[in-house]
Chains A and B, each alone.
Chain A
Protein backbone atom coordinates (compact mmCIF):
# COMPACT_ATOMS: atom_id res chain seq x y z
CA UNK A 1 0.00 0.00 0.00
CA UNK A 2 2.79 2.33 1.02
CA UNK A 3 4.63 1.42 -2.15
CA UNK A 4 1.56 2.08 -4.26
CA UNK A 5 1.05 5.50 -2.70
CA UNK A 6 4.65 6.45 -3.31
CA UNK A 7 4.34 5.43 -6.92
CA UNK A 8 1.11 7.37 -7.28
CA UNK A 9 2.77 10.50 -5.91
CA UNK A 10 5.69 10.02 -8.30
CA UNK A 11 3.37 9.69 -11.30
CA UNK A 12 1.47 12.83 -10.25
CA UNK A 13 4.72 14.68 -9.76
CA UNK A 14 5.89 13.61 -13.22
CA UNK A 15 2.75 14.94 -14.91
CA UNK A 16 2.85 18.09 -12.79
CA UNK A 17 6.44 18.78 -13.80
CA UNK A 18 5.68 18.04 -17.43
CA UNK A 19 2.69 20.38 -17.33
CA UNK A 20 4.75 23.05 -15.59
CA UNK A 21 7.51 22.69 -18.20
CA UNK A 22 4.99 23.07 -21.05
CA UNK A 23 3.49 26.16 -19.42
CA UNK A 24 6.93 27.65 -18.90
CA UNK A 25 7.80 27.01 -22.54
CA UNK A 26 4.53 28.63 -23.59
CA UNK A 27 5.18 31.74 -21.48
CA UNK A 28 8.78 32.10 -22.65
CA UNK A 29 7.66 31.63 -26.21
CA UNK A 30 5.10 34.41 -25.85
CA UNK A 31 7.60 36.68 -24.13
CA UNK A 32 10.51 36.23 -26.53
CA UNK A 33 8.49 35.49 -29.63
CA UNK A 34 10.79 32.50 -30.27
CA UNK A 35 10.14 28.79 -30.05
CA UNK A 36 12.46 26.47 -28.13
CA UNK A 37 14.39 25.40 -31.25
CA UNK A 38 15.12 29.04 -32.07
CA UNK A 39 16.22 29.84 -28.53
CA UNK A 40 18.60 26.85 -28.53
CA UNK A 41 20.14 27.82 -31.85
CA UNK A 42 20.58 31.47 -30.89
CA UNK A 43 21.90 30.89 -27.37
CA UNK A 44 24.11 27.81 -27.74
CA UNK A 45 27.20 27.66 -29.87
CA UNK A 46 27.38 24.96 -32.53
CA UNK A 47 28.67 21.52 -31.55
CA UNK A 48 27.58 18.87 -29.11
CA UNK A 49 25.97 21.31 -26.67
CA UNK A 50 23.60 22.64 -29.32
CA UNK A 51 22.91 19.41 -31.19
CA UNK A 52 22.17 17.49 -28.01
CA UNK A 53 19.71 20.16 -26.85
CA UNK A 54 18.01 20.18 -30.25
CA UNK A 55 17.81 16.38 -30.16
CA UNK A 56 16.21 16.41 -26.71
CA UNK A 57 13.81 19.15 -27.73
CA UNK A 58 12.70 17.31 -30.88
CA UNK A 59 12.28 13.99 -29.08
CA UNK A 60 10.34 15.61 -26.24
CA UNK A 61 8.06 17.60 -28.53
CA UNK A 62 4.34 16.95 -28.43
CA UNK A 63 4.16 17.12 -32.21
CA UNK A 64 4.55 13.75 -33.96
CA UNK A 65 6.25 15.41 -36.93
CA UNK A 66 9.00 16.79 -34.69
CA UNK A 67 9.38 13.54 -32.75
CA UNK A 68 9.87 11.49 -35.90
CA UNK A 69 12.18 14.04 -37.53
CA UNK A 70 15.18 12.44 -35.80
CA UNK A 71 14.52 9.20 -37.71
CA UNK A 72 14.22 10.54 -41.25
CA UNK A 73 16.37 9.50 -44.18
CA UNK A 74 19.32 11.89 -44.75
CA UNK A 75 17.88 12.86 -48.18
CA UNK A 76 14.63 13.98 -46.54
CA UNK A 77 16.28 16.36 -44.11
CA UNK A 78 15.75 19.55 -46.14
CA UNK A 79 12.07 18.79 -46.52
CA UNK A 80 11.83 18.01 -42.81
CA UNK A 81 13.38 21.37 -41.90
CA UNK A 82 10.85 23.15 -44.13
CA UNK A 83 8.05 21.26 -42.38
CA UNK A 84 9.36 22.17 -38.95
CA UNK A 85 9.69 25.85 -39.88
CA UNK A 86 6.16 25.86 -41.20
CA UNK A 87 4.79 23.99 -38.19
CA UNK A 88 6.49 26.41 -35.82
CA UNK A 89 5.40 29.37 -37.99
CA UNK A 90 8.95 30.64 -38.38
CA UNK A 91 9.50 32.94 -41.32
CA UNK A 92 12.59 31.59 -43.17
CA UNK A 93 13.29 35.01 -44.72
CA UNK A 94 13.48 36.70 -41.35
CA UNK A 95 15.50 33.83 -39.79
CA UNK A 96 17.82 32.70 -42.58
CA UNK A 97 20.44 31.23 -40.28
CA UNK A 98 17.99 29.06 -38.35
CA UNK A 99 17.28 26.61 -41.19
CA UNK A 100 20.99 26.12 -41.80
CA UNK A 101 21.69 25.55 -38.10
CA UNK A 102 18.82 23.12 -37.70
CA UNK A 103 19.91 21.25 -40.79
CA UNK A 104 23.44 20.84 -39.46
CA UNK A 105 22.08 19.49 -36.17
CA UNK A 106 19.69 17.10 -37.85
CA UNK A 107 22.40 15.80 -40.18
CA UNK A 108 24.49 14.92 -37.12
CA UNK A 109 21.58 13.35 -35.23
CA UNK A 110 20.45 11.23 -38.18
CA UNK A 111 24.07 10.46 -39.09
CA UNK A 112 24.80 9.11 -35.62
CA UNK A 113 21.84 6.73 -35.83
CA UNK A 114 22.94 5.52 -39.24
CA UNK A 115 26.50 5.08 -38.06
CA UNK A 116 25.25 2.77 -35.30
CA UNK A 117 23.43 0.70 -37.92
CA UNK A 118 26.51 0.54 -40.15
CA UNK A 119 28.82 -0.44 -37.29
CA UNK A 120 26.33 -3.03 -36.05
CA UNK A 121 26.16 -4.59 -39.51
CA UNK A 122 29.94 -4.99 -39.60
CA UNK A 123 30.00 -6.39 -36.10
CA UNK A 124 27.38 -8.98 -36.97
CA UNK A 125 29.31 -10.23 -39.99
CA UNK A 126 31.50 -13.05 -38.71
CA UNK A 127 35.04 -13.44 -39.98
CA UNK A 128 34.95 -16.07 -42.72
CA UNK A 129 38.22 -17.64 -43.86
CA UNK A 130 36.51 -18.81 -47.07
CA UNK A 131 35.88 -15.22 -48.07
CA UNK A 132 38.83 -13.88 -50.12
CA UNK A 133 38.10 -10.28 -49.12
CA UNK A 134 38.30 -11.12 -45.43
CA UNK A 135 41.51 -13.06 -45.96
CA UNK A 136 43.02 -10.21 -47.93
CA UNK A 137 42.33 -7.78 -45.10
CA UNK A 138 43.86 -10.10 -42.56
CA UNK A 139 47.04 -10.41 -44.61
CA UNK A 140 47.09 -6.63 -45.06
CA UNK A 141 47.06 -6.27 -41.28
CA UNK A 142 50.18 -8.38 -41.11
CA UNK A 143 51.92 -6.45 -43.88
CA UNK A 144 51.22 -3.08 -42.29
CA UNK A 145 52.40 -4.14 -38.86
CA UNK A 146 55.34 -6.29 -39.92
CA UNK A 147 56.52 -4.94 -43.29
CA UNK A 148 59.98 -6.44 -42.90
CA UNK A 149 59.06 -9.94 -41.89
CA UNK A 150 56.90 -11.83 -44.36
CA UNK A 151 54.31 -14.31 -43.15
CA UNK A 152 55.59 -17.81 -43.89
CA UNK A 153 52.19 -19.50 -44.04
CA UNK A 154 48.56 -18.54 -43.58
CA UNK A 155 48.34 -20.85 -40.56
CA UNK A 156 51.38 -19.96 -38.54
CA UNK A 157 52.59 -19.36 -35.00
CA UNK A 158 53.79 -15.98 -36.30
CA UNK A 159 50.30 -14.55 -35.72
CA UNK A 160 51.12 -14.58 -32.01
CA UNK A 161 53.80 -11.97 -32.71
CA UNK A 162 51.09 -9.39 -33.39
CA UNK A 163 49.02 -10.59 -30.48
CA UNK A 164 46.56 -13.16 -31.76
CA UNK A 165 45.97 -16.15 -29.52
CA UNK A 166 47.02 -19.04 -31.72
CA UNK A 167 48.14 -19.96 -35.22
CA UNK A 168 44.89 -18.91 -36.93
CA UNK A 169 43.35 -15.53 -36.07
CA UNK A 170 39.95 -16.47 -37.51
CA UNK A 171 38.59 -17.63 -34.15
CA UNK A 172 39.71 -14.49 -32.33
CA UNK A 173 37.26 -11.99 -33.80
CA UNK A 174 34.25 -13.61 -32.10
CA UNK A 175 31.44 -11.24 -31.15
CA UNK A 176 33.12 -8.24 -32.80
CA UNK A 177 33.19 -9.91 -36.23
CA UNK A 178 34.57 -7.88 -39.12
CA UNK A 179 34.41 -4.68 -37.08
CA UNK A 180 37.41 -5.83 -35.05
CA UNK A 181 39.43 -6.55 -38.18
CA UNK A 182 38.42 -3.29 -39.90
CA UNK A 183 39.49 -1.29 -36.88
CA UNK A 184 42.85 -3.02 -36.54
CA UNK A 185 43.59 -2.65 -40.25
CA UNK A 186 42.63 1.04 -40.18
CA UNK A 187 44.93 1.64 -37.23
CA UNK A 188 47.82 -0.22 -38.88
CA UNK A 189 47.30 1.38 -42.28
CA UNK A 190 46.64 5.03 -41.41
CA UNK A 191 48.48 5.40 -38.13
CA UNK A 192 51.23 2.99 -39.06
CA UNK A 193 53.96 4.58 -37.00
CA UNK A 194 51.94 4.72 -33.79
CA UNK A 195 50.46 1.26 -34.38
CA UNK A 196 53.90 -0.26 -34.85
CA UNK A 197 55.19 1.57 -31.80
CA UNK A 198 52.27 0.37 -29.65
CA UNK A 199 52.83 -3.17 -30.94
CA UNK A 200 56.53 -3.06 -30.06
CA UNK A 201 55.77 -1.67 -26.60
CA UNK A 202 53.11 -4.33 -26.04
CA UNK A 203 55.82 -6.97 -26.38
CA UNK A 204 57.84 -5.43 -23.56
CA UNK A 205 58.08 -8.08 -20.83
CA UNK A 206 56.99 -5.69 -18.10
CA UNK A 207 53.87 -4.31 -19.81
CA UNK A 208 53.19 -7.25 -22.06
CA UNK A 209 49.73 -7.67 -23.54
CA UNK A 210 48.37 -9.20 -26.76
CA UNK A 211 48.08 -6.34 -29.26
CA UNK A 212 45.43 -7.81 -31.57
CA UNK A 213 43.32 -9.28 -28.78
CA UNK A 214 43.39 -5.99 -26.90
CA UNK A 215 42.45 -4.29 -30.18
CA UNK A 216 39.36 -6.51 -30.37
CA UNK A 217 38.56 -5.69 -26.75
CA UNK A 218 38.98 -1.96 -27.38
CA UNK A 219 36.69 -2.37 -30.40
CA UNK A 220 34.10 -3.67 -27.95
CA UNK A 221 34.74 -0.65 -25.74
CA UNK A 222 34.35 1.80 -28.65
CA UNK A 223 31.23 -0.05 -29.80
CA UNK A 224 29.66 0.26 -26.35
CA UNK A 225 30.47 3.97 -26.21
CA UNK A 226 28.81 4.42 -29.59
CA UNK A 227 25.66 2.38 -28.93
CA UNK A 228 25.09 3.86 -25.48
CA UNK A 229 25.15 7.33 -27.04
CA UNK A 230 28.18 8.42 -25.01
CA UNK A 231 30.15 9.19 -28.19
CA UNK A 232 27.58 11.80 -29.27
CA UNK A 233 29.53 14.52 -27.49
CA UNK A 234 32.67 13.63 -29.41
CA UNK A 235 31.07 13.15 -32.84
CA UNK A 236 28.81 16.21 -32.61
CA UNK A 237 31.91 18.24 -31.82
CA UNK A 238 34.20 16.88 -34.53
CA UNK A 239 31.95 15.88 -37.43
CA UNK A 240 30.60 18.99 -39.18
CA UNK A 241 27.89 16.88 -40.81
CA UNK A 242 27.00 13.22 -40.41
CA UNK A 243 29.62 11.17 -38.52
CA UNK A 244 30.95 8.33 -40.68
CA UNK A 245 32.66 4.99 -40.23
CA UNK A 246 35.99 6.76 -40.70
CA UNK A 247 35.24 8.95 -37.69
CA UNK A 248 34.52 5.82 -35.71
CA UNK A 249 37.76 4.19 -36.80
CA UNK A 250 39.73 7.30 -35.95
CA UNK A 251 38.15 7.21 -32.53
CA UNK A 252 39.28 3.61 -32.24
CA UNK A 253 42.87 4.62 -33.06
CA UNK A 254 42.70 7.30 -30.39
CA UNK A 255 41.32 4.85 -27.82
CA UNK A 256 44.02 2.27 -28.63
CA UNK A 257 46.76 4.82 -28.14
CA UNK A 258 45.20 6.27 -24.99
CA UNK A 259 44.59 2.82 -23.51
CA UNK A 260 48.20 1.91 -24.15
CA UNK A 261 49.43 4.95 -22.23
CA UNK A 262 46.87 4.33 -19.50
CA UNK A 263 47.99 0.71 -19.16
CA UNK A 264 51.63 1.74 -18.71
CA UNK A 265 50.70 4.48 -16.21
CA UNK A 266 48.67 1.99 -14.20
CA UNK A 267 51.81 -0.12 -13.85
CA UNK A 268 49.92 -3.44 -13.76
CA UNK A 269 51.41 -6.48 -12.06
CA UNK A 270 50.62 -8.68 -15.04
CA UNK A 271 48.08 -9.28 -17.79
CA UNK A 272 45.56 -10.66 -15.28
CA UNK A 273 44.82 -7.04 -14.34
CA UNK A 274 43.54 -6.31 -17.84
CA UNK A 275 39.82 -6.22 -17.08
CA UNK A 276 40.29 -4.05 -14.00
CA UNK A 277 42.37 -1.53 -15.96
CA UNK A 278 39.98 -1.66 -18.91
CA UNK A 279 37.01 -0.90 -16.64
CA UNK A 280 38.84 2.04 -15.08
CA UNK A 281 39.78 3.36 -18.52
CA UNK A 282 36.18 3.01 -19.72
CA UNK A 283 34.88 5.01 -16.75
CA UNK A 284 37.45 7.72 -17.36
CA UNK A 285 36.43 8.10 -21.01
CA UNK A 286 32.74 8.14 -20.01
CA UNK A 287 33.46 10.89 -17.50
CA UNK A 288 35.31 12.91 -20.11
CA UNK A 289 32.45 12.55 -22.57
CA UNK A 290 29.98 13.99 -20.07
CA UNK A 291 31.53 17.38 -20.72
CA UNK A 292 29.66 18.80 -23.77
CA UNK A 293 32.83 20.61 -24.89
CA UNK A 294 34.69 17.31 -25.08
CA UNK A 295 36.22 15.98 -28.24
CA UNK A 296 38.45 12.95 -27.86
CA UNK A 297 41.24 14.96 -29.38
CA UNK A 298 43.59 12.68 -31.19
CA UNK A 299 47.14 13.89 -31.39
CA UNK A 300 48.35 11.90 -34.33
CA UNK A 301 48.57 11.72 -38.07
CA UNK A 302 45.35 10.11 -39.23
CA UNK A 303 43.30 12.40 -37.08
CA UNK A 304 44.64 15.79 -38.01
CA UNK A 305 41.89 16.21 -40.56
CA UNK A 306 39.40 15.38 -37.85
CA UNK A 307 39.57 18.55 -35.79
CA UNK A 308 37.62 21.27 -37.45
CA UNK A 309 36.00 23.28 -34.70
Chain B
Protein backbone atom coordinates (compact mmCIF):
# COMPACT_ATOMS: atom_id res chain seq x y z
CA UNK B 1 0.00 0.00 0.00
CA UNK B 2 1.00 3.58 0.71
CA UNK B 3 3.83 2.62 3.04
CA UNK B 4 5.66 0.51 0.49
CA UNK B 5 5.48 3.32 -2.04
CA UNK B 6 6.91 5.69 0.55
CA UNK B 7 9.67 3.21 1.32
CA UNK B 8 10.48 2.92 -2.35
CA UNK B 9 10.69 6.67 -2.69
CA UNK B 10 12.98 6.80 0.29
CA UNK B 11 15.32 4.11 -1.03
CA UNK B 12 16.08 6.10 -4.19
CA UNK B 13 16.79 9.60 -2.99
CA UNK B 14 17.52 12.12 -5.70
CA UNK B 15 21.12 12.20 -6.71
CA UNK B 16 22.59 15.50 -5.59
CA UNK B 17 24.43 17.57 -8.16
CA UNK B 18 26.56 20.59 -7.39
CA UNK B 19 26.36 23.22 -10.10
CA UNK B 20 28.51 26.33 -10.16
CA UNK B 21 27.09 29.35 -11.98
CA UNK B 22 29.77 31.86 -13.00
CA UNK B 23 30.24 34.75 -15.40
CA UNK B 24 30.91 38.51 -15.47
CA UNK B 25 28.65 40.96 -13.62
CA UNK B 26 25.39 41.69 -15.43
CA UNK B 27 25.62 38.43 -17.42
CA UNK B 28 22.29 37.25 -15.99
CA UNK B 29 23.34 34.56 -13.50
CA UNK B 30 20.82 35.42 -10.81
CA UNK B 31 18.00 35.79 -13.35
CA UNK B 32 18.90 32.34 -14.66
CA UNK B 33 18.95 30.93 -11.13
CA UNK B 34 15.51 32.38 -10.38
CA UNK B 35 14.19 31.19 -13.73
CA UNK B 36 15.39 27.66 -12.87
CA UNK B 37 13.59 27.85 -9.53
CA UNK B 38 10.47 29.31 -11.23
CA UNK B 39 10.69 32.45 -9.10
CA UNK B 40 9.79 36.03 -9.90
CA UNK B 41 12.57 37.67 -11.94
CA UNK B 42 11.42 41.29 -11.88
CA UNK B 43 13.14 42.32 -8.62
CA UNK B 44 16.73 41.22 -9.25
CA UNK B 45 19.52 43.24 -7.63
CA UNK B 46 23.29 42.92 -8.21
CA UNK B 47 24.63 39.98 -6.21
CA UNK B 48 26.86 40.82 -3.28
CA UNK B 49 28.35 37.48 -2.28
CA UNK B 50 26.35 34.54 -3.57
CA UNK B 51 22.91 32.94 -3.83
CA UNK B 52 22.11 29.25 -3.64
CA UNK B 53 18.99 27.33 -4.63
CA UNK B 54 18.04 23.69 -4.89
CA UNK B 55 15.97 22.62 -7.86
CA UNK B 56 14.47 19.19 -8.58
CA UNK B 57 14.90 18.13 -12.16
CA UNK B 58 14.70 14.76 -13.93
CA UNK B 59 15.45 12.77 -10.78
CA UNK B 60 18.28 15.03 -9.70
CA UNK B 61 18.54 17.49 -6.88
CA UNK B 62 20.46 20.35 -8.44
CA UNK B 63 22.21 22.57 -5.90
CA UNK B 64 22.97 25.68 -7.90
CA UNK B 65 25.53 28.16 -6.57
CA UNK B 66 25.29 31.61 -8.12
CA UNK B 67 28.38 33.67 -7.27
CA UNK B 68 28.58 37.42 -7.87
CA UNK B 69 30.48 38.41 -11.02
CA UNK B 70 31.82 41.79 -9.99
CA UNK B 71 35.58 42.02 -10.50
CA UNK B 72 36.09 42.54 -6.77
CA UNK B 73 34.33 39.26 -6.01
CA UNK B 74 35.95 37.07 -8.69
CA UNK B 75 38.92 36.14 -6.47
CA UNK B 76 36.39 34.36 -4.22
CA UNK B 77 35.18 32.10 -7.04
CA UNK B 78 37.90 29.55 -6.25
CA UNK B 79 36.44 28.95 -2.78
CA UNK B 80 33.49 27.26 -4.47
CA UNK B 81 35.32 25.00 -6.96
CA UNK B 82 35.56 21.91 -4.77
CA UNK B 83 33.28 18.98 -5.71
CA UNK B 84 31.67 20.84 -8.58
CA UNK B 85 29.83 18.45 -10.92
CA UNK B 86 28.94 20.92 -13.65
CA UNK B 87 30.15 24.41 -14.45
CA UNK B 88 27.66 26.78 -16.08
CA UNK B 89 29.27 29.87 -17.54
CA UNK B 90 26.93 32.72 -18.46
CA UNK B 91 27.75 35.32 -21.10
CA UNK B 92 25.88 38.53 -21.95
CA UNK B 93 25.73 38.05 -25.74
CA UNK B 94 24.99 41.75 -26.28
CA UNK B 95 27.97 43.03 -24.30
CA UNK B 96 30.47 42.78 -27.15
CA UNK B 97 32.86 45.20 -25.50
CA UNK B 98 33.57 42.64 -22.80
CA UNK B 99 33.82 39.46 -24.92
CA UNK B 100 37.56 39.51 -24.44
CA UNK B 101 37.28 39.90 -20.68
CA UNK B 102 34.72 37.11 -20.38
CA UNK B 103 36.85 34.87 -22.61
CA UNK B 104 39.84 35.43 -20.36
CA UNK B 105 37.88 34.60 -17.22
CA UNK B 106 36.56 31.41 -18.83
CA UNK B 107 40.03 30.36 -19.99
CA UNK B 108 41.33 30.84 -16.45
CA UNK B 109 38.51 28.72 -15.05
CA UNK B 110 39.22 25.93 -17.50
CA UNK B 111 42.87 25.94 -16.39
CA UNK B 112 41.92 25.47 -12.74
CA UNK B 113 43.07 22.14 -11.39
CA UNK B 114 40.05 21.74 -9.13
CA UNK B 115 37.75 22.10 -12.13
CA UNK B 116 39.67 19.77 -14.43
CA UNK B 117 37.41 17.46 -16.41
CA UNK B 118 34.23 19.17 -15.11
CA UNK B 119 31.71 19.44 -17.97
CA UNK B 120 31.04 23.05 -18.91
CA UNK B 121 27.83 24.52 -20.30
CA UNK B 122 28.10 28.00 -21.76
CA UNK B 123 24.88 29.99 -21.89
CA UNK B 124 24.92 32.65 -24.61
CA UNK B 125 22.36 34.69 -22.69
CA UNK B 126 20.20 37.71 -23.59
CA UNK B 127 19.24 36.43 -27.03
CA UNK B 128 16.05 38.47 -26.60
CA UNK B 129 18.13 41.61 -27.31
CA UNK B 130 18.44 42.67 -30.93
CA UNK B 131 22.15 43.35 -30.56
CA UNK B 132 22.93 39.88 -29.18
CA UNK B 133 25.67 37.93 -30.95
CA UNK B 134 24.61 34.42 -32.03
CA UNK B 135 26.02 31.46 -30.10
CA UNK B 136 28.10 30.34 -33.09
CA UNK B 137 29.91 33.68 -33.22
CA UNK B 138 30.63 33.55 -29.49
CA UNK B 139 31.87 29.94 -29.74
CA UNK B 140 34.27 31.00 -32.44
CA UNK B 141 35.43 34.13 -30.63
CA UNK B 142 36.16 32.15 -27.49
CA UNK B 143 37.89 29.34 -29.41
CA UNK B 144 35.66 26.80 -27.74
CA UNK B 145 36.60 24.14 -30.31
CA UNK B 146 40.06 23.98 -28.71
CA UNK B 147 38.59 22.56 -25.48
CA UNK B 148 39.62 18.89 -25.50
CA UNK B 149 39.88 17.93 -21.84
CA UNK B 150 36.15 17.85 -21.06
CA UNK B 151 32.70 17.75 -22.58
CA UNK B 152 31.29 21.18 -23.30
CA UNK B 153 28.26 22.76 -24.91
CA UNK B 154 27.17 26.24 -25.88
CA UNK B 155 23.47 27.01 -25.67
CA UNK B 156 21.80 30.24 -26.70
CA UNK B 157 19.12 31.35 -24.28
CA UNK B 158 17.18 34.20 -22.76
CA UNK B 159 17.00 33.94 -18.99
CA UNK B 160 14.36 36.67 -19.15
CA UNK B 161 11.89 34.72 -21.31
CA UNK B 162 13.18 31.29 -20.33
CA UNK B 163 13.82 30.31 -23.92
CA UNK B 164 16.66 27.81 -24.31
CA UNK B 165 17.14 27.40 -20.55
CA UNK B 166 15.46 24.00 -20.40
CA UNK B 167 17.51 22.72 -23.35
CA UNK B 168 20.66 23.67 -21.49
CA UNK B 169 19.47 21.96 -18.32
CA UNK B 170 18.65 18.78 -20.28
CA UNK B 171 22.25 18.75 -21.42
CA UNK B 172 23.37 19.21 -17.80
CA UNK B 173 21.30 16.26 -16.57
CA UNK B 174 22.53 14.04 -19.41
CA UNK B 175 26.16 14.81 -18.69
CA UNK B 176 25.89 14.39 -14.96
CA UNK B 177 24.79 10.83 -15.61
CA UNK B 178 27.64 10.28 -18.02
CA UNK B 179 30.19 11.50 -15.53
CA UNK B 180 28.88 9.93 -12.34
CA UNK B 181 27.88 6.46 -13.55
Binding site for B on A (CB under 8 A): 160, 165-166, 171-172, 174-176, 180, 209-210, 213-214, 216-217, 219-220, 223, 270-276, 278
Nearest chain-A residue to B92 (Cβ)?
A: A171
Considering only CB atoms and an 8 Å cut-off, how many residues of chain B contact the other chain?
A: 19
CB distance from B105 to the nearest CB of A (A): 13
Provided the pairs A165-B25, A166-B25, A275-B50 are in contact, do residues A216 and B73 lie with their beta carbons within 8 angstroms? no
Number of A-B contacts (CB under 8 A): 65
Contact A275 B49 (CB under 8 A): yes
Provided the pairs A171-B26, A270-B76, A271-B76 are in contact, do residues A166 and B46 lie with their beta carbons within 8 angstroms? no
Contact B25 A217 (CB under 8 A): no
Contact B49 A271 (CB under 8 A): yes
Q: Which residues of chain B are near A272, meaning CB under 8 Å?
A: 49-50, 73, 76, 79
Contact of A165 among B44, B49, B50, B71 (CB under 8 A): B71
27 A-B pairs, CB-CB below 8 angstroms? A160-B71, A160-B72, A165-B26, A165-B46, A165-B71, A166-B25, A166-B70, A172-B26, A172-B46, A175-B42, A176-B45, A180-B45, A210-B48, A210-B72, A213-B45, A213-B46, A216-B45, A216-B46, A217-B48, A219-B45, A271-B76, A272-B76, A272-B79, A273-B49, A274-B48, A275-B51, A278-B48
Q: Which residues of chain B are near A274, meaning CB under 8 Å?
A: 48-49
Tell yes or no: B43 within 8 A of A by CB.
yes
Q: Which residues of chain B are near A165, meaning CB under 8 Å?
A: 25-26, 46, 69-71
Q: Which residues of chain B are near A209, meaning CB under 8 Å?
A: 48
A271 to B73, CA, bound (A): 8
Nearest chain-A residue to B69 (Cβ)?
A: A165
CB distance from A100 to the nearest CB of B (A): 39
Q: Which residues of chain A are near B48, meaning CB under 8 Å?
A: 209-210, 213-214, 217, 271, 274-275, 278
Q: Which residues of chain B are near A213, meaning CB under 8 Å?
A: 45-46, 48, 70
Nearest chain-A residue to B48 (Cβ)?
A: A274
Binding site for A on B (CB under 8 A): 25-26, 41-46, 48-51, 69-73, 76, 79
Q: Which residues of chain B are near A217, meaning CB under 8 Å?
A: 45-46, 48
Nearest chain-B residue to A213 (Cβ)?
A: B46
Q: Which residues of chain A are near B73, meaning CB under 8 Å?
A: 271-272
Contact of A175 among B43, B50, B76 (CB under 8 A): B43
Contact A175 B79 (CB under 8 A): no
Contact B44 A175 (CB under 8 A): yes
Contact B45 A174 (CB under 8 A): yes
Q: A160-B71, A166-B71, A174-B46 are in contact. List 5 more A-B contacts (CB 8 A).
A: A172-B46, A175-B41, A213-B45, A272-B73, A272-B79
Contact A174 B49 (CB under 8 A): no
A216 to B26, CA, bound (A): 14
Nearest chain-B residue to A278 (Cβ)?
A: B48
Q: Which residues of chain A are near B76, meaning CB under 8 Å?
A: 270-272
Q: Which residues of chain A are near B45, meaning CB under 8 Å?
A: 174-176, 180, 213, 216-217, 219-220
A275 to B49, CA, bound (A): 7
Q: Which residues of chain B are near A220, meaning CB under 8 Å?
A: 43, 45
Most chain A CB atoms below 10 A, which of B26, B42, B45, B79? B45
A278 to B46, CA, bound (A): 14
A270 to B73, CA, bound (A): 10
Nearest chain-A residue to B73 (Cβ)?
A: A271
